[in-house]
Chain A
Amino acid sequence: DVKVTQSSRYLVKRTGEKVFLECVQDMDHENMFWYRQDPGLGLRLIYFSYDVKMKEKGDIPEGYSVSREKKERFSLILESASTNQTSMYLCASSLGQAPYSNQPQHFGDGTRLSIL
């Protein structure tokens, strides 16, 4: 089975802090994704990556950056955390070459991030 592991289930940070969310997958997938999920707004794509050192903006990249130095690891960075970034953050991975892959995405359990 595919395993996508997010470094924290719950995280509390303060406004203005730089926040790192880490994600690791163990299935040699090419594609990795960061989403946030908010009540009433559904799932929104922040960034994705289809190869090492490659990244593409999703729908809501403002205030975020990403890093993919190794194939198995994809990090989401909140440059200067703000209260409107309080959310559930979900990492996913999939086989194939995005954006044209129709392979399923496999998700981690999520990080519930609170910015005070």
Chain B
Amino acid sequence: DAKTTQPNSMESNEEEPVHLPCNHSTISGTDYIHWYRQLPSQGPEYVIHGLTSNVNNRMASLAIAEDRKSSTLILHRATLRDAAVYYCILIRSGGSNYKLTFGKGTLLTVNP
């Protein structure tokens, strides 16, 4: 399976934008880029996913590089509730995708 690389931790201030990077240099053409996050003492929460084009939803935006070897999750205005571990994973279309495997992710701290 293609691997992803994320920084161990990042820090932001409340109400400022946050850009969380993810490198996936061995991504294949049929791999979707998915982002999840996990707040303390809660289950993981789906955030967003995309294939080639940038994607927006009510939670975040996903910017995908033209060569697809990296992507960035954008939180437009961080709140204290956004403090969590963020996981970037690749899901292959047509493959056996039933198992989610999280790496260490990025621990986001949001300062008031």
Contact = CB atoms under 8 A, between A and B. Distances in A.
Contact of A90 (B43, B96, B101): B43
Interface residues of B, number: 22
* Interface of B (DSSP majority class): loop
Contacts of A100: 93-97
Contacts of A110: 41-43
Contact of B102 (A42, A58, A102): A42
Contacts, number: 61
B46 to A, nearest CB: 4
Contacts of B101: 42-43
A74 interface: no
Interface string A61-99: 000000000000000000000000000001010000011
A45 B94 CA distance: 19
Nearest to A42: B102
B95 to A, nearest CB: 7
A45 B98 contact: yes
A94 to B, nearest CB: 8
Contacts of A101: 97-98
A107 B97 contact: no
Contacts of B102: 42-43
A13 interface: no
Interface in B73-112: 91-103
A114 interface: no
A7 interface: no
Nearest to B31: A102
B43 A58 contact: no
B44 A98 contact: no
A33 B100 CA distance: 10
Nearest to A6: B43
Contacts of A31: 98
